[in-house]
Amino acid sequence: MDDSSTGYYQSNGFSDGNLGSKLQKIKQPRKKILVLGFWNDTPVGDDSIGLFAAEELKRGLSLGRKVVFPDEKIATAVTRDFVDGDRVQASQLVREGKRVGVNTIVIGRISKIVYRQNREEVGILREAETAVAVDVEMKVFDANTGREVHAAKRSGASVSTAHIVFDEDALSSKASRNEIAKDAIADAVRKMIDEVNLAMEKMDWQGRVAKLVGNKVYVNAGRASGLIAGDILKVMSPGEEIVDPITKSYLGRSEGMLKGTLEVSEFIGKDTSMATIHTGGNFQEGDIVRLY
């Protein structure tokens, strides 16, 4: 046989390297993500449209089945809580990420809303065309390090036509303006969904040790996150916060030390697993776990 010919496995795309890459992608657990209510930084409308923007992003991300969202009862913070002037408080985002147990945090801001209306002024029954344009900004952060991994600004627009009688005006109330703006906001947010997914793919999955009981270790990720019985997890210390000594600004977190490994054995509740110690020891609550 001619050794230079392409073998069966290579010709079908199943070389060892290719297969290993595919298996690595298949076994990656779902990442936990916190989408904060967007900040409506405009004089138009109210905070409800910022919350709507966040829910639209969550809805779009959930369709890909690659993410897990934290319990809404504990995830109540909004973008405005973490912004001071033009600066995002990364250290506070890290603390919030640790509190709710997520890998990724998305914040957002609605920076512009513009309404325009054209209508026929003759007759009792008139036709009015209302157009809305918005600018929406988004930033994606690694919740473990506070590092910004992606930023985007997208515009959205919506046009609606309605019949009005006398002086009835679709823009006459705040509630009406909010409802009209939501279509344009949804248009802008839809353009960001793929970007968030790509940003998350560049980050390693990780969970945390939630509790230790004897030689049993409970991890804050389970079936919902995509772990399977027999998965081997490496355990690492959380690392240290790095702060600029002059400005006192948060710069990130150092890589932790490897402590050992765990083997996933059982699942508890919706998204918790129990693991047994495989190697190493001296594990503590809050330690980082990653796929081996």
| Mean pLDDT value across residues 7-27 | 46
State residue 249's pLDDT score. 66
Kind plus residue range of the DSSP H or E element containing 125:
strand 125-142
Listed ranges 143-147, 174-178, 231-235; the one with the highest mean pLDDT: 231-235
Band of pLDDT at residue 1, cut at 50, 70 and 90: very low
Token output for 271:
């998204």
The third-level CATH classification (topology) of the domain covering 28-201 is Rossmann fold (3.40.50)
Residue among 142, 140, 129 nearest 103 (CA): 142
Q: Quick check: 24 pLDDT over 70?
A: no
Instruction: Tell me the whole-structure pTM to 2 decimals.
Output: 0.80
Residue among 84, 86, 275, 45 nearest 178 (CA): 45
Residue 286 buriedness (CB in 10 A; 0-12 / 13-18 / 19+):
exposed
| Mean pLDDT value across residues 122-130 | 65
| Mean pLDDT value across residues 178-194 | 93
Q: Quick check: 195 pLDDT over 80?
A: yes
State residue 235's pLDDT score. 95
Listed ranges 30-34, 72-76, 83-87, 126-130; the one with the highest mean pLDDT: 30-34
Q: What does the domain layout of the chain look like in residue ranges?
A: 28-201, 207-291
DSSP of 170-187, one letter per residue?
Answer: TTSSHHHHHHHHHHHHHH
Band of pLDDT at residue 240, cut at 50, 70 and 90: confident
State residue 12's pLDDT score. 45
Average pLDDT taken over every residue of the chain: 83
More confident residue, 176 or 287: 287
Token output for 239:
């690392």
Rounded Cα distance between 260 and 200, Å, is 26
State residue 11's pLDDT score. 41
Ranking 179-193, 241-255, 265-279 by mean pLDDT, the lowest is 241-255
Q: Quick check: 247 pLDDT over 70?
A: no
Asked whether the CA dihedral 49, 54, 57, 62 is positive or negative, the reply is negative
Contacts of 121 (CB under 8 A, 6+ apart): none
Rg (CA), the chain: 24
State residue 146's pLDDT score. 86
Whether 28-201 and 207-291 share one fold: the answer is no
Using DSSP's 3-state secondary structure scheme, residue 93 falls into: helix
Ranking 16-30, 65-79, 82-96 by mean pLDDT, the lowest is 16-30
In CATH, the number for domain 207-291 is: 2.40.10.410
Rounded Cα distance between 8 and 247, Å, is 60
β-pairing, 104-119 vs 39-40, is parallel
| Mean pLDDT value across residues 200-219 | 90
Q: Quick check: 230 pLDDT over 70?
A: yes
Q: Quick check: 67 pLDDT over 50?
A: yes
More confident residue, 87 or 4: 87
